């Protein structure tokens, strides 16, 4: 038996979350779960995460890990909620320390140190772990952010925002720690996984008339990705990406997302009235 994947779509942020079930059909990991958040009211809810949790319960899965491909800047992580419901350990790439170092300063978060210890585990390039008889290998794939990692299992790879769909292209590289040249080289490593490997996305932004799709094969990406198809030189990609990033607005949910996601999905500590707050740094981002 080989591993299998069930993907869950979050329409408001166009995020794909995935459950990878190991070869034994019993052990599984959750990848990039999403919390619902209404920016106008500051209200959080778990409707989307509950759908994923219900599916895991129906399958009677033992959740070993809740994995982040990176600290997302456009949606809030539901990792702690999923952990509270299903168990598992929250893991992310070790580059998160650098991302924390930056954003803890921006938000003057003095209650926490940027050593990654708020996560249960930090992964380094080449680390491996077992999920129900399936070996998962962690590949460091920086570029979009410095903490971006890809989780590879059998012929499946969970690539975060390393690539989007072939018709949309690639992720921005202008966040702190982002680097277009690094992204180019990370994508070449993904392509080296082989044409049949299925690359699972963190987001899909389909044009009108196409349904969101959770994955594309290496062959589809290498053959047709509008930014990173075969034959594009690194220098050409870097110049296109850099120019394009200059014109992009920040994601709508970046301010709540980075404050919460760099804390492994936890809220900042409540103030003495018992309420937790999200800060807005003025003229800083
Ligand atoms: Fe992202």
The string of DSSP letters for 35-79 reads: EEEETTTTEEE-HHHHHHHHHHHHTT-EEEEEE-SS--SSSEE-H
Can you tell me the mean pLDDT for 217-238?
98
Alpha carbon of 21 to ligand 1 centroid (Å): 24
Q: What is the dihedral of CA 39, 144, 81, 135, to 10 degrees?
A: 160
pLDDT band per the 50, 70, 90 thresholds, residue 174: very high
pLDDT band per the 50, 70, 90 thresholds, residue 4: very high
Alpha carbon of 144 to ligand 1 centroid (Å): 7
> Residue 138: which H helix or E strand, with range?
strand 134-140
pLDDT tens digits along 110-154 = 999 999 999 999 999 999 999 999 999 999 999 999 999 999 999
Domains along the sequence of the chain with CATH:
4-256 (3.60.15.10)
pLDDT at residue 1, as a whole number: 77
Alpha carbon of 159 to ligand 1 centroid (Å): 11
Alpha carbon of 1 to ligand 1 centroid (Å): 32
Can you tell me the mean pLDDT for 155-183?
97
Alpha carbon of 171 to ligand 1 centroid (Å): 7
Query: In b/e form, how buried is each residue of 124-151, taking b as 16+ CB within 10 angstroms?
Result: ebebebebbebebebbbbbbbbbbbbbb
β 156-158/149-153 pair status: antiparallel
Alpha-carbon distance of 253 to 264, in angstroms, equals: 16
pLDDT tens digits along 51-80 = 999 999 999 999 999 999 999 999 999 999
Alpha carbon of 10 to ligand 1 centroid (Å): 14
Instruction: Return mean pLDDT, the chain.
Output: 97
Alpha carbon of 148 to ligand 1 centroid (Å): 9
Quickly tell me which residue has 């990991």 as its tokens: 29
Phi first, then psi, for residue 182 (nearest 5°) are -65, -40
pLDDT at residue 259, as a whole number: 96
Instruction: Tell me which residue of 278, 72, 271, 36 sits closest to 161, measured CA to CA.
Output: 72
Alpha carbon of 151 to ligand 1 centroid (Å): 15
Alpha carbon of 213 to ligand 1 centroid (Å): 17
């Amino acid at each position: 038996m080989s591993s299998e994947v069930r993907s869950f779509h979050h329409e408001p942020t166009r995020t794909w979350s995935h459950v990878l079930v190991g070869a034994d059909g019993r052990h599984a990991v959750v990848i990039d779960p999403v919390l619902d958040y209404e920016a106008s009211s500051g209200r959080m809810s778990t409707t989307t995460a509950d759908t994923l949790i219900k599916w895991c319960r129906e399958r009677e899965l033992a959740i070993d890990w809740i994995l982040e491909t990176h600290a997302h800047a456009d949606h809030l992580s539901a990792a702690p909620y999923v952990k509270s419901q299903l168990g598992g350990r929250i893991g992310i790439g070790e580059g998160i320390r650098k991302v924390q170092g930056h954003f803890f300063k921006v938000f003057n978060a003095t209650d926490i140190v940027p050593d990654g210890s708020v996560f249960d585990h930090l992964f380094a390039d080449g680390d491996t772990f077992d999920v129900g008889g399936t070996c998962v290998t962690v590949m460091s794939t920086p570029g979009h952010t410095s903490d971006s990692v890809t989780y590879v299992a059998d012929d499946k790879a969970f690539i975060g925002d390393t690539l989007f769909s072939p018709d949309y292209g690639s992720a921005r590289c202008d966040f702190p720690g982002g680097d277009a040249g690094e992204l180019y080289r990370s994508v070449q490593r993904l392509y080296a996984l082989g044409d049949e490997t299925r690359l699972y996305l963190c987001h899909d932004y389909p044009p009108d008339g196409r349904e969101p799709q959770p994955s594309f094969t290496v062959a589809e990406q290498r053959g047709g990705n509008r930014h990173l198809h075969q034959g594009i030189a690194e220098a050409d990609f870097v110049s296109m990406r850099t120019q394009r990033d200059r014109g992009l607005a920040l994601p709508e949910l970046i301010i709540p997302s980075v404050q919460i996601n760099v804390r492994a999905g936890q809220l900042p500590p409540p103030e003495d009235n018992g309420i937790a707050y999200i800060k807005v740094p003025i003229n800083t981002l």
